[in-house]
Amino acid sequence: MLINIGQRVRGCRGASSCDIPDRSGRFAPERVGSMLPAMTETTRNSSPSDDTVSFGFTDVNREDKAGLVRGVFDRSARRYDLMNDLMSLGIHRVWKDMVMTRANPQPGERHLDVAGGTGDLARSFLDKADRAARRRGQPATAQAVVLDINEQMLRAGVKRGLKPDHEGRIDWITGNAECLPLPARWADCVTISTGIRNVTNRDKALREMRRVLKPGGRFLCLEFTKPTTRGWEKLYDAWSFNVMPELGHWVAKDRESYQYLVESIRRFPDQESFKAEIEAAGFRNVSYTNFSGGIAALHVGWA
Ligand SMILES: C[S@@+](CC[C@H](N)C(=O)[O-])C[C@H]1O[C@@H](n2cnc3c(N)ncnc32)[C@H](O)[C@@H]1O
């Protein structure tokens, strides 16, 4: 296992790199709290200008967002897996399983999980690829890279441990989705799960994920999206605006980070608009599937 802090992934040449905001870019929790205006229809639907970008319902300077996001996940890393289970009532596991069923991992493939956090998708990729290998009487040779801008999230994933047969086959690297430290055409499959909405320059990140995919490689993006009916949206709003920040407060002692997470979901484009962004980044045959009435959607495209 490799924890590669801002360095090259094993076996990669000619990798690019870019700055990861350091802790000085981080706002103290009380500052984040004070930045959050009350939710209005305007803040919910408005688009930031070219110089600013959304950070929850607040528009912040483009160059500040990555540091702020990093602060959120620095604070939530320790309790991230538990909070994920509580906030989604465990449903994120079902969604992730559906993502990996669609990814259809194969023996010998290379998987890159961008904004991979504690490594759920990478573990699942190896499990499924190994099962396919066993069926064919082949050795388990798939490998995965979990890349995240936040070292604390990766460390929480490493601390969780690995199955013995995954040992040495997952690399953990810090890096920014907007300039992946990997060579072109490196991966067979690139995934990003509930990470793209946190990225400052989404178009740049999408182009990067396209760049590192082999021709014909697949891209899968799971993200919280827009519920498909007004009634369902109202119910979901009630749950997320009232329950999630409270859970954050009681379980993780951090209401502000969870308030940001809820707000960032509302500022993310709807399914069709995001599909157009993926196409603009050069992916082919892009389609999406709504999960749980559109609370989340899986977008899939091909390099
Ligand atoms: C909600 S968590 C999702 C983690 C994991 N993918 C999952 O589904 O459980 C979002 C992750 O995105 C990471 N992240 C945010 N901005 C990023 C960026 N620009 N590049 C790479 N990772 C980023 C955060 O550090 C965090 O770990």
Question: Model confidence over 149-207: pLDDT tens digits?
Answer: 999 999 999 999 999 999 999 999 999 999 999 999 999 999 999 999 999 999 999 99
Lowest mean pLDDT among 157-166, 239-248, 271-280, 284-293: 239-248
CA of 148 to the centre of ligand 1 (A): 6
Residue 69 CA to ligand 1 center (angstroms) comes to 9
Q: How many domains does the chain have?
A: 1
> CA of 1: how far to CAs of 53, 121, 145, 161, in Å?
36, 16, 10, 10
Share above pLDDT 70 across residues of the chain, in percent, rounded to a whole number: 84
Per the structure, the complete domain to which residue 242 belongs is given by 2-8+25-302
- Is residue 19 one of the residues assigned to a domain? no
Q: Using 50, 70 and 90 to split pLDDT, how confident is the model at 300? A: very high
Tell me how far apart the alpha carbons of residues 143 and 108 are, in angstroms, rounded to a whole number: 7
Whole-number Å distance between alpha carbons of 169 and 108: 11
User: For residue 153, which atom of ligand 1 is closest to its CA?
Assistant: 27
**Mean per-residue pLDDT of the chain:** 84
Residue 17 lies in a domain: no
pLDDT at residue 118 tops 70: yes
Answer yes or no: is pLDDT of 103 > 90.
yes
Is a pLDDT exceeding 60 seen at residue 61? Answer: yes
Domain containing 255 — which CATH number? 3.40.50.150
Q: Return the ligand 1 atom nearest residue 96 CA.
A: 8
Determine the Cα–Cα distance for residues 182 and 9; give it in Å rounded to an integer: 7
Q: Which long-range contacts (CB under 8 A, 24 or more apart) does 205-209 make?
A: 205/114, 205/177, 205/178, 206/277, 206/278, 206/280, 206/281, 206/283, 207/281, 207/282, 208/177, 208/178, 208/179, 208/180, 209/112, 209/114, 209/177, 209/180, 209/281
Residue 261 confidence (pLDDT): 87
pLDDT at 22 over 70: no
250-271 per-position pLDDT tens digit: 888 888 888 888 888 988 999 9
CA of 221 relative to ligand 1 center, distance in Å = 12
Is residue 188 in a domain?
A: yes
- The answer to whether residue 16 is domain-embedded is no
Which residues does a 6 A CB cutoff place in the pocket of ligand 1? 66, 69, 73, 84, 115-117, 120, 148-150, 153, 176-178, 193-195, 198-199
Does position 23 have pLDDT exceeding 50, yes or no?
Answer: no
CA of 194 to the centre of ligand 1 (A): 7
The tokens for 123 are 């573990």
Of 201-215, 248-262, 286-300, which gets the smallest average pLDDT? 248-262
What confidence score (pLDDT) does residue 15 get?
35
CA 150–ligand 1 middle distance (angstroms): 8
Cα 50 to ligand 1 centroid, rounded to whole Å: 23
Asked whether residue 134 is domain-assigned, the answer is: yes
pLDDT for residue 268: 94
Whether 227 maps to a domain, the answer reads: yes
- Which atom number of ligand 1 is nearest to the Cα of residue 77? 27
Q: What is the pTM of this model?
A: 0.85
Does 18 reside within a domain? no
> How confident is residue 4, by pLDDT bands cut at 50, 70 and 90?
low
For ligand 1, pick from 53, 194, 212 the residue to mutate: most ligand atoms within 8 Å of CB: 194
The winner for highest mean pLDDT among 64-73, 214-223, 236-245 is 214-223
Q: 142 lies in a domain?
A: yes
Distance 196 CA to ligand 1 centre (A): 7
What is the rounded average pLDDT of the residues 112-139?
97
Which residue has a Cα nearest atom 13 of ligand 1?
Answer: 115
